[in-house]
């Protein structure tokens, strides 16, 4: 089988991780790399055994010169996701772009439109979606075990974990905690719910703690964000995320349905749902049931661990070989950008704002 020929744009921290995964997959060959800092691209090429002549400082030049490129890993900072992604798609290449899809809703929309127009795959690297408990939660939801979900919380928390570099400035990252780590929780929740459409957002963001932490003087993005999101069907998602907070935890993600409720590790109901027993059996797992008064707490045991990075790249390459679709539909990932845009507008105006998923 011919190897898939890959290029990498942006040779910073995460690009090395992409290379580590690519280097372990037999049918992938990285043939070109690019960074606006030429020196970085050259050193990266040397480190990973890519021909030095194929180290570029312009992705347009790279796309023009190295004809054999089939897919592009976009590993630039958030504000620089759109241009290389659109250029690669327009050049007829498939794209695996780092999360979040983009720093702005306009950028994300342009990327999804370019993918549709080119008929090429755009996959956003939200690897958390492949975690076994997230995959299982979606199966539980699809089997109707929870019934209609009327309320959920999507929660992540670092007590102290503000990154540095390009992550803490609007001009490179666009946002702080809300998109950096928040995108994983938010997408896991939206994926589990099968992507309901948001209609309003009321949000709060702040950077109070960062102001007193030496070394973060240039930070102009949020360290904490919380939002109340209303979906088209009237249901609610509360979203909470932090890079820094005076708390051990902000709680955990959970879903409340009319028939049952669940976290990403337990299911709660009045009795054991037959559909759940069937699902758990068909997945080769076991259901541990604890009786609490007249109710039951249930835990699924025996889910096989997954290397989510390896899985993500293999699914992407499989889609490239089979002609698609993208393993995670970019039109669905766009909803995270719609909500994040609502969070930014609402936090700034201190009012609830309307949001709308753009037509593609
Ligand atoms: N999936 C994960 O686990 C994970 C982890 C960390 C970062 N990320 C994401 O990866 C992206 C990059 O993060 P990072 O830590 O590698 O950042 P980084 O700042 O270390 O690297 C970004 C690189 O992109 C280059 N660059 C910027 N604009 C460019 C352009 N127009 N053309 C070519 N190169 C350009 C920069 O010079 C820099 O070398 C971010 O979107 C971030 O959210 C994902």
Q: What is the tens place of the pLDDT at every residue in 156-203? A: 999 999 999 999 999 999 999 999 999 999 999 999 999 999 999 999
**Mutational test site, ligand 1, from 9, 35, 73, max ligand atoms within 8 Å of CB:** 35
Contact 41/55 with Cβ under 8 angstroms?
Answer: yes
Model confidence at 341, pLDDT cuts 50, 70, 90, reads very high
Do the strands 224-231 and 55-56 form a parallel or antiparallel pair, or are they unpaired? unpaired
Q: Is the pLDDT of residue 1 over 90?
A: no
What are the residue boundaries of the structural domains of the chain, listed by start? 4-127+308-326, 129-306+339-354
Does residue 327's CB lie within 6 angstroms of at least one atom of ligand 1?
A: no
**Mutational test site, ligand 1, from 57, 75, 171, max ligand atoms within 8 Å of CB:** 75
Report CA Rg, the chain: 21
Alpha-carbon gap, residue 259 to 269, rounded angstroms = 7
Does residue 98's CB lie within 6 angstroms of at least one atom of ligand 1?
A: yes
pTM to 2 decimal places: 0.97
- E-strand ranges in 207-260 read 224-231, 236-242, 254-257
Q: Is the pLDDT of residue 350 over 90?
A: yes
Q: What is the tens place of the pLDDT at every residue in 107-138? A: 999 999 999 999 999 999 999 999 999 999 99
Does residue 70's CB lie within 6 angstroms of at least one atom of ligand 1?
A: no
Q: Cis peptide leading into 100, omega within 30 of 0?
A: yes
Position 63 scores a pLDDT of 98
Strand partners, 262: 255, 267
Atom of ligand 1 nearest to the CA of 11: 39
Position 157 scores a pLDDT of 98
Does residue 40's CB lie within 6 angstroms of at least one atom of ligand 1?
A: yes
Per-residue CA distances from 51 to 21, 38, 298, 322 (Å): 19, 14, 54, 28
Give the phi and the psi of residue 166 in degrees, each rounded to 5.
Answer: -75, -5
Q: Residue 273: name the closest of 146, 134, 132, 137 by CA.
A: 146
Position 266 scores a pLDDT of 98
Contact 176/318 with Cβ under 8 angstroms?
Answer: no
Alpha-carbon gap, residue 94 to 247, rounded angstroms = 42
- E-strand ranges in 293-339 read 295-301
Q: Is the pLDDT of residue 83 over 90?
A: yes
Residue 230 token pair:
């209303």
Position 187 scores a pLDDT of 98
Alpha-carbon gap, residue 141 to 147, rounded angstroms = 8
Residue that the structure tokens 């349905």 belong to: 257
Given the candidates 3.30.360.10, 3.30.428.10, 2.30.42.10, 3.40.605.10, the CATH classification of the domain at 129-306+339-354 is 3.30.360.10
Grouping H, G, I as helix, E, B as strand and the rest as coil, residue 156 is strand
Grouping H, G, I as helix, E, B as strand and the rest as coil, residue 174 is coil
Q: What is the tens place of the pLDDT at every residue in 279-337? A: 999 999 999 999 999 999 999 999 999 999 999 999 999 999 999 899 999 999 999 99
Do the strands 55-56 and 28-34 form a parallel or antiparallel pair, or are they unpaired? parallel
Give the phi and the psi of residue 142 in degrees, each rounded to 5.
Answer: -65, -30
CB neighbour class for 51 (10 Å; exposed up to 12, middle 13-18, buried from 19)? exposed
Q: What is the tens place of the pLDDT at every residue in 15-59? A: 999 999 999 999 999 999 999 999 999 999 999 999 999 999 999
Residues 52-81 have a mean pLDDT of 98
Atom of ligand 1 nearest to the CA of 76: 24
In degrees, to the nearest 5, what angle opens at C-alpha 178 toward C-alphas 100 and 121?
Answer: 15
Q: Residue 253: name the closest of 338, 179, 161, 188 by CA.
A: 188
Residue 99 token pair:
């999360």
Position 234 scores a pLDDT of 98
The mean pLDDT value of the chain amounts to 97
Cβ count near 95 (within 10 Å): 28
Dihedral of CA atoms 343, 347, 350, 352 in degrees, nearest 10, equals 0
Distance 44 CA to ligand 1 centre (A): 13
Contact 151/162 with Cβ under 8 angstroms?
Answer: no
Position 32 scores a pLDDT of 98
Q: What is the tens place of the pLDDT at every residue in 228-282? A: 999 999 999 999 999 999 999 999 999 999 999 999 999 999 999 999 999 999 9
Say whether domain 4-127+308-326 belongs to CATH 3.40.50.720: yes
């Amino acid at each position: 089988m011919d190897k898939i020929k890959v290029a990498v744009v942006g040779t910073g921290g995460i690009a090395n991780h992409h290379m580590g995964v690519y280097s372990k997959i037999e049918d992938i060959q990285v043939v070109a790399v690019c960074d606006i800092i030429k020196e970085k691209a050259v050193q990266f090429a040397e480190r990973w055994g890519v021909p030095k002549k194929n180290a570029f400082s312009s992705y347009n030049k790279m796309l023009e010169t190295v004809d054999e490129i089939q897919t592009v890993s976009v590993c630039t900072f958030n504000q620089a996701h759109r241009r290389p992604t659109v250029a690669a798609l327009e050049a007829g290449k498939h794209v695996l772009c780092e999360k979040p899809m983009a720093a702005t809703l306009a950028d994300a929309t342009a990327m999804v439109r370019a993918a549709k127009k080119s008929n090429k795959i755009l996959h956003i690297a939200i690897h958390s979606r492949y975690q076994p408990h997230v995959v299982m939660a979606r199966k539980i939801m699809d089997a109707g075990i929870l019934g209609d979900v009327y309320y959920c919380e999507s929660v992540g928390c670092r007590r102290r974990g503000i990154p540095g570099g390009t992550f803490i400035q609007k001009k490179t990252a666009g946002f702080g905690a809300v998109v950096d780590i928040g995108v994983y929780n938010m997408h896991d929740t939206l994926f589990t719910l099968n992507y309901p459409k948001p209609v309003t957002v009321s949000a709060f963001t702040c950077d109070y703690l960062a102001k007193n932490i030496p070394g973060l003087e240039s930070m102009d993005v949020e360290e904490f964000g919380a939002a109340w999101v209303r979906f088209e069907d009237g249901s609610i998602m509360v979203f909470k995320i932090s890079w820094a907070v005076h708390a051990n935890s902000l709680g955990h993600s959970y879903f409340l349905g009319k028939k049952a409720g669940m976290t990403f590790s337990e299911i709660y109901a009045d009795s054991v749902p037959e559909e759940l027993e069937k699902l758990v059996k068909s997945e080769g797992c076991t259901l541990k049931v604890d009786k609490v008064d007249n109710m039951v707490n249930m835990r699924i045991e025996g889910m096989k661990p997954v290397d989510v990075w390896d899985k993500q790249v293999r699914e992407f390459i499989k889609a490239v070989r089979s002609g698609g679709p993208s393993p995670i539909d970019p039109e669905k990932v766009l909803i995270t950008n719609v909500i994040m845009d609502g969070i930014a507008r609402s936090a700034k105006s201190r009012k609830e704002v309307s949001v709308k998923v753009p037509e593609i």
